[in-house]
Amino acid sequence: MSQLQADNEALLKEARLERDTMLKEARGVKDRIIGEAKEKAGAEYDKIVNSAKNAIHNEKMAALTEIKNQVSTLSLEIAEKLLRDKLESSDEQKKLIEKYISEAKLN
């Protein structure tokens, strides 16, 4: 009977050691999986942030280009209207041409 009890104690001790080993391995696997998931999430986060920054930059550049185009068009329209008003009479046209000729540096 004492031999049976000793065998039972030995089996129980062995089972506890095996359980502890399995739990330790399970914790290791859990930590590894969590670490890999964090790395993957961090990489995905960086990818999304960089993509968003690029999209914002592209939209900004497109908006600036559109504004520059509109300013150019508006400037030309204003200049055209000013020149039409300024050059309505032929006397004004002649004065302006003479002014530009006198200002021009001829070789």
The ranges assigned to domains in the chain are 2-82
8 Å CB contact between 96 and 86: yes
* Residue pLDDT, tens place only, 35-76: 999 999 999 999 999 999 999 999 999 999 999 999 999 999
Buried-state track 4-38, b at ≥16 Cβ within 10 A, e below 16 = eeeeeeeeeeeeeeeeeeeeeeeeeeeeeeeeeee
8 Å CB contact between 67 and 60: no
Q: Evaluate if pTM is beyond 0.85.
A: no
* Residue pLDDT, tens place only, 80-95: 888 777 777 778 778 8
